[in-house]
Amino acid sequence: MKEKLIITDHLISCAGEDVRVEQGEKGILVSGEKIERIEDMDFFSSVLLEGKMKIWDMRGHYVLPGLIDGHVHLSFSASSQPLTELYGDDEETCLLRMVQAAQMELRSGVTTVRDCGARGMAILKLRDFIGRKEMQGPDIVSAGMPLTITGGHCNFCGLECDTVSEAVKAVRWLCKQGVDYIKVMVSGGNMTPGSDSLIDQYPEETLQAIVAEAHARGKMVSGHVHSTRSISRAVKAGFDVLDHCSFKAEGGEDYRQELVDEMAEKRIAVNPAVGKAYILSPEEAAPLPDKVAMWGEFQQSRFGTTRRMYQSGVPIMAGTDAGCKNTHFDEFFLTMDLMCEKIRMKKEDVLASATWQAARILGMDSRIGSLEPGKQADILAVKDNPLDSMRNLGQAVFVMKRGERVCL
């Protein structure tokens, strides 16, 4: 198998918590799907003379690990009216949408996505098709269909369960299908007609039963949580990751520092999922017409609560919520810029939240998240330094997935 060499003079390896640009010419030797070694270019002088190696010269660019988008919905259309497709598409059309979305993510430099709820279960076929290298795409970490109550948030995905026994049976069925983790709509949501983000969909007993069943089968559990009460219930039940984590209550924000301290102590991670909906005007971003007024206030409160969780030591994983209204699959750099500018995270920590930190949270840090020998050759090169501006991550000039170059 022919080896490949990537030459760079600006390496951001993300190998550990010290995220920085390493100056000086280095070579990244790729063999098959993995990184074989990373050395100063002097080490490779003899093999360069032999001329038998495929070489990509990325000098003048910034080379870093492929990114991990920790919150997407590949089966959602990202249109101005995604519910139209979610209620109207057949399974074949939905699968084609997911293929297109996955390839958009990959071409933008995202080499792993965590899908947080899909319509139907065809996403597992796409995940496995990509995994067998029958088409190029990002690695997909999928929950399949999320658990929700009858008529609850994301009921259009197709898996409704109400009682403890129904929820446990749903977890068992999802595990039988081969999902990577379990996603639960603990609270209601904003984009589903008839749902409300202040509604708590499951009692504590049900949540605890879901977590016990999933953990017994080796699966992590992630919770969609907007209300403060739903966050508290998910933490008490032993959830591993909380999505959104908005601290909402009647009358506005209800941030609880003691709850956040418990999350930090238990290393419960948060994916705030702040994407395009937090940049656009409320009229453009609100998921439903009757939620425009609420959305303007909601956009701003999210930044402050997430900032305080970050400052309290809660592990943060970046994610776009791509697929939702006007939130496209090639705009991860906008989310990461928001995390710097609005949440006020350090740029190094934002980059970590989409590389080694995200990989650790997902339990995949032995394979992805950094450029190190033995790890997958998931590699991104951009024109300018992302540690100057996260928007520079929108300038992908080279993407490699499992040792194969991606056609941009």
User: What DSSP assignment string belongs to 162-187?
Assistant: -SHHHHHHHHHHHHHHT-SEEEEE-B
- What CATH number is given to the structural domain containing 144? 3.20.20.140
Q: According to the model, what pLDDT value does residue 68 have? A: 98
Contact 260, 310 (CB under 8 A): no
Q: In terms of domains, do 142 and 185 share one?
A: yes
Residues 289 and 163 in one domain: yes
Show Cβ contacts of residue 45 under 8 Å, excluding neighbours closer than 6 positions: none
CA dist 220 and 308 (Å) reads: 25
The reply to whether 375 and 288 lie within a common domain is no
pLDDT in tens, 209-229: 999 999 999 999 999 999 999
pLDDT of residue 289: 86
pLDDT score, position 285: 84
pTM metric for this prediction:
0.97
Write the pLDDT tens digit of every residue in 100-147.
999 999 999 999 999 999 999 999 999 999 999 999 999 999 999 999
Cα 12 to chain centroid, rounded: 20
The sign of the torsion formed by the CA atoms of 190, 192, 194, 195 equals negative
| Phi, psi (degrees; rounded to nearest 5) at 351 | -65, -40
* Residue 185 confidence class, pLDDT cut points 50, 70, 90: very high
> How many C-beta atoms surround the C-beta of residue 282 within 10 A?
16
Provide CB contacts within 8 A for 289, sequence distance 6+.
Answer: none
* pLDDT surpassing 70 at residue 63: yes
Rounded Cα–Cα distance for residues 10 and 244 (Å): 34
Sign of CA dihedral 162, 165, 170, 175: positive
Same structural domain, 308 and 226 = yes
Q: Identify whether residues 55 and 185 lie together within a single domain.
A: no
Q: What is the CATH number of the domain that holds 388?
A: 2.30.40.10
Q: How many whole angstroms separate alpha carbon 325 and alpha carbon 340?
A: 23
Q: Tell me: pLDDT of 406 over 80.
A: yes
Same domain, 178 and 61: no
Residue range 287-297: mean pLDDT, rounded: 84
Average per-residue pLDDT in the chain? 95
Task: Indicate if the pLDDT at residue 1 is higher than 80.
Answer: no
Q: Tell me, yes or no, whether 156 and 249 share the same domain.
A: yes
Q: How far is CA 251 from the centre of its chain?
A: 30
> Span 262-284, mean pLDDT?
94
Same domain for 384 and 274, yes or no, is no
Question: Quick one: 39 and 114 in the same domain?
Answer: no
Looking at the structure, tell me whether residues 318 and 276 fall in a common domain: yes
**Mean pLDDT, residues 140-169:** 98
- What is the total count of domains within the chain? 2
Please determine, for residue 81, whether its predicted confidence score (pLDDT) is greater than 80. yes
pLDDT surpasses 80 at 51: no
Same-domain check for residues 345 and 375:
no
Residue ranges of E strands in 208-275 = 220-227, 241-249, 252-253, 269-271
253 and 339 in a single domain? The answer is yes
Q: Which domain holds residue 60?
A: 4-65+369-405
Other beta carbons within 10 angstroms of residue 189's beta carbon come to 21
pLDDT on residue 362: 98
Q: What is the pLDDT of residue 288?
A: 83
Q: Can you say how many angstroms the Cα of residue 269 is from the centroid of all Cα atoms in its chain?
A: 12
